[in-house]
Amino acid sequence: MDFKLTEEQLAVRDAARDFANNVLLPEVTDRDKHARFPTEEVKQLGELGFLGMMVDPKYDGGGMDTVSYVLAMEEISKVDASTAVVMSVCNSLVAWGFERFGSEDQKEKYLKPLAGGKITGAFCLSEPEAGSDATSQTTTAIDMGDHYLLNGTKNWITNGGTAGVYIVMAQTDREKGHRGINALILEPGMEGFIVGEKEDKMGIRGSDTHTLLFNDVKVPKANRIGEEGFGFKFAMQTLGGGRIGIASQALGIASGALELAIKYSKERKTFGKEIYKHQAIAFKLADMATKVEAARVMCLKAATLKDQGKDFELAASMAKLYASTIAQEVTSEAVQIHGGYGYVREYHVERMMRDAKITQIYEGTSEIQKIVISRAILK
């Protein structure tokens, strides 16, 4: 595959890099410390077109390719993974789901403000007992004729307390199994729709993660995405693209930690010379750089396949599995290279190590990716 970047793609990467360094970096440690959502920063991100990058311009999107999205995600994640996950959910899950499967009315009402950066979105699949297993949904949407009556709970929902639109998976006909699931659109303020307390997380502390509760919420039939029973296919196809976003986030965390480790190794001296001149540190940096580059190639391959209209799901799962694994390894080594300074907030790498762990968990755990990959290669 030819990964030579176009001038347009390089411009997107550079714009994301500038935004990350000039807008996100100054307050990133404070946002992490106080678990503060980057409200103003996300607003600016939307105004620059980074929340609807791949959406058709007729719906106020950027009309960009997936490769550009991967490049931008890496740059944002290098500095602030909490903001990056907001960007990932809005682009990969909510906006893509609306554009690919939504009706024209739904696109006009929800996709346009999302792609134009006026609102953010939330993708609601995980449950306390089901995780990301769409076939085990306990949230129900009973068909009442002209509307559904929604009851249940969703947890670990990114943008849960700040989104302007929510896509919720719910079971309508349990006897039909995965063919009885629907994807429904909710708006904040609907009667019976309750946002629970914000989660106090180990990493990505600036992101807005909540449990959502539904108590007899009336959802109009016009708010169903696709035909009756389409919800399972909607979730599976949307999550495939979502894995590219999370792989890119993991890549960004790792590459950001690598850059900081290289910088520190040129500043810190021991035994009369900079520590990068010690073979033990040089070998660590070599291993870290190789892993980051391999993850980058895997992310770009998945993105290129998606842009070419080819089957990208295996490549996306491989990229997500590998990038999230090396993000843990590279950030841990970055802390080790920093020594005691790596263990304090000021030097960023301790936050990156905490942020990296979640990339192995959401959009399907590493174990789920291995199941997807093994099934594909063993067919």
> pLDDT tens digits for 294-343?
999 999 999 999 999 999 999 999 999 999 999 999 999 999 999 999 99
CATH of 232-378, one of 1.10.10.10, 3.50.50.60, 1.20.140.10, 1.10.600.10: 1.20.140.10
- Phi-psi region at 119: left, alpha or beta (left = phi > 0; alpha = psi -120 to 50): beta
In percent, how much of the chain has pLDDT > 90?
92
- Residue 363 is a catalytic residue: yes
- Give the residue extent of every domain in the chain: 7-120, 122-228, 232-378
- Calculate the average pLDDT of the chain: 95
> pLDDT tens digits for 2-45?
778 999 999 999 999 999 999 999 999 999 999 999 999 999 99
- Give Cα 275 to chain centroid, integer Å: 35
Determine the topology of domain 122-228 in CATH. Butyryl-CoA Dehydrogenase, subunit A; domain 2 (2.40.110)
Asked whether 120 and 162 are in contact (CB, 8 A), the reply is yes
Measured distance CA(14)–CA(33) in Å, rounded:
28
Start-to-end Cα distance in the chain: 24
Strand 147-158 to 140-143 pairing? antiparallel
Which CATH number is associated with domain 7-120?
Answer: 1.10.540.10
Measured distance CA(315)–CA(323) in Å, rounded:
12
CA distances from 25 to 191, 263, 339, 348 (A): 39, 16, 22, 10
Measured distance CA(102)–CA(95) in Å, rounded:
10
115 pLDDT higher than 80: yes
Catalytically annotated residue among 74, 99, 333, 363: 363
Measured distance CA(189)–CA(164) in Å, rounded:
10
> pLDDT tens digits for 203-227?
999 999 999 999 999 999 999 999 9
